[in-house]
Amino acid sequence: MLGGLAAKPVIDIDIIVQQQNLERAIEALKAAGYEYRGDMGIPDRHCFKSAKPYSAQNIYVCLEGCLALRNHLLVRDLCRQDDNIRDAYGQKKIELSKQEWSSVDDYCVAKNDILAWILSHGGMPVPEIDQIRASNTVSQDE
């Protein structure tokens, strides 16, 4: 547990860039040895995989202000600010960790309801929550 929230032993790193710097950021990460995996069905969020096996990080280059980034930041901020939200999210993650998952896609779908609940508490508009829910049901291997 980190900061009171149950977590997997993998950290998500968002690198925030403006549109005009997107290609340079992608090329810099590729030059540093990261495999570029595209947006994986999530607009304006570009995914990278470490060349090192069993890397404990997910790296994303996100366009400043994009929905995927706002999703990440709102969940982070609400979990920091509200013990009830943090505990409910943590409990769901513990529950999900006890299951076998055939893919990360299935895990993402299973988290959709709790994420929608958290985002609604943070005031995110329903159409944006619906977009996030839809993005979480797209195969990450596309």
The answer to whether residues 115 and 80 touch, using CB atoms and an 8 Å cutoff, is no
The dihedral region occupied by 41, where left means phi > 0, alpha psi between -120 and 50, and beta the remainder, is: left
Residue 50 falls within a domain, yes or no?
yes
Residue 98 falls within a domain, yes or no?
yes
CATH of residue 55's domain is 3.30.460.10
What is the rounded distance in angstroms from the CA atom of residue 100 to the CA atom of residue 72?
25
Residue 94 falls within a domain, yes or no?
yes
> Helix axis angle, 104-121 relative to 126-135, nearest 10°?
170
Residue ranges making up the domain that contains 108: 11-135
Residue 131 falls within a domain, yes or no?
yes
Report how many domains make up the chain. 1
Q: Can you name the residues that pair with 59 across neighbouring β-strands?
A: 13, 48
Question: What does the pLDDT read at residue 13?
Answer: 93
Our CA angle for 28, 2, 80, nearest 5°, is 90
Residue 127 falls within a domain, yes or no?
yes
Residue 4 falls within a domain, yes or no?
no
Residue 109 falls within a domain, yes or no?
yes
User: Distance from first CA to last CA of the chain, Å, rounded?
Assistant: 31
Tokens 């990278």, located at residue: 48
Exposed/middle/buried for 133, CB within 10 Å: 0-12, 13-18, 19+? middle
User: Average pLDDT by consecutive 10-residue portion of the chain (142 residues)?
Assistant: 66 95 97 93 93 81 97 95 94 90 84 96 96 80 46
Q: What is the pTM of this model?
A: 0.85
Question: What does the pLDDT read at residue 117?
Answer: 97
Residue 142 falls within a domain, yes or no?
no
